[in-house]
Chains A and B, each alone.
Chain A
Amino acid sequence: MRLASFLSVRHVGLPELARLSNVTLTDCLKFVRVLGEAGLLYVEPAPAKASRSGAAAPAMDAQANPNPTGGLVDRIRRSLGMTTVSR
């Protein structure tokens, strides 16, 4: 349940999930596999460059984000110096 509480629309890489949750990478991988098997995850390869707060968070042009509040959140993230952007 603790791992599940970190699920959101923002991309999270395994290392970041482990860091956020304080759960071992092995258990995180097990968790991801289970969700993946159940078709509950949107999964894609990690981008080459890692962001500050996520090793596997793909950058995305905030202008292309059709969600207005998503835009606000992205602006907050940028203002705080986070490069992680949701989709």
Chain B
Amino acid sequence: MKDHKIVFTGTPGAGKTTAIAALSDVPPVTTDVRNSDPGLAKEHTTVGLDFGQVDLGDGQMVRLFGTPGQMRFEFMWRILAKDALGLVVLIDNSRPDPLADLTTYLDAYKDVLPSMNAVIGVGRTLECPLPTLDDFTDLLNARNLVLPVLAVDVRQRDDVLMLVDVVLAQAETRTRACSHQMSTVLIWCEQALETNLASTIAQTSLATSSSWPTR
């Protein structure tokens, strides 16, 4: 039986440990120590990794890994992400330069991100509304990445589930060999928006079609 893993990465204090604790079936294994970084407003911080798991009930497990946030542990980030089902990047919007933080992670994962299921979760957006989610999206677009960006509060389990759900949806889409078509769709979206098509469709739910027009 193959186990699967979902990796949570991101800045120190962004809530990786909290997110894993919200999902794990078992008390998560953490390697937190007393924080000695005066720039980090919390008592404990993770120096190794966090670990939790979700039992799928058929002998398979989903392992949840949280990377240590500090740059000096960068070597672990990619090791943990290898063969992961998904990557959740958590950004703390109350830090001095959240866009630079995201850039750090985009750089660290630049080789795998284009082919990886990934989502960006931005925390503390109510207290710190800037940069906006659009700013994060612009940064991603500048690097030819199209990744969902969500405002989250990882203390809320539903928000963590939302992140995982988005990653899982990407996994399904990718598995169904739609990645090429998705790219096409996004191009078509831009064109459609430019032409400003306007009329009403009465239906209330949507999903991307499995028979996208191809170019």
* Residues in chain A within 8 A of chain B (CB atoms): 1-2, 4-14, 17, 20-22, 31-47, 52-53, 56-58, 67, 69-70, 72-73, 75-77, 79-82, 84, 86-87
Contact = CB atoms under 8 A, between A and B. Distances in A.
Given A1-B141, A22-B133, A80-B161, A8 B201 contact: no
A67 B172 contact: yes
Contact of A1 (B146, B203, B209): B146
A33 B201 contact: yes
B170 A8 contact: yes
Contact of B207 (A8, A14, A33): A8
A43 B201 contact: yes
The bracket for how many chain B residues form the interface is: 35 or more
Nearest to B190: A1
B199 A8 contact: no
Contacts of B207: 8-12, 41-42, 86-87
Counting chain A CB atoms within 10 Å of each CB, the highest count among B54, B200, B206 belongs to B206
Nearest to A7: B208
Given A13-B204, A34-B197, A1 B210 contact: no
A87 B173 CA distance: 10
B57 A79 contact: yes
A32 to B, nearest CB: 6
A4 B149 contact: no
Contacts of A44: 203, 205
Contact of B188 (A2, A22, A40): A40
B204 to A, nearest CB: 4
Interface stretch (B36-44, B70-78, B107-115, B174-182): B174-182
A36 B176 CA distance: 22
B60 to A, nearest CB: 8
B79 interface: no
B143 to A, nearest CB: 13
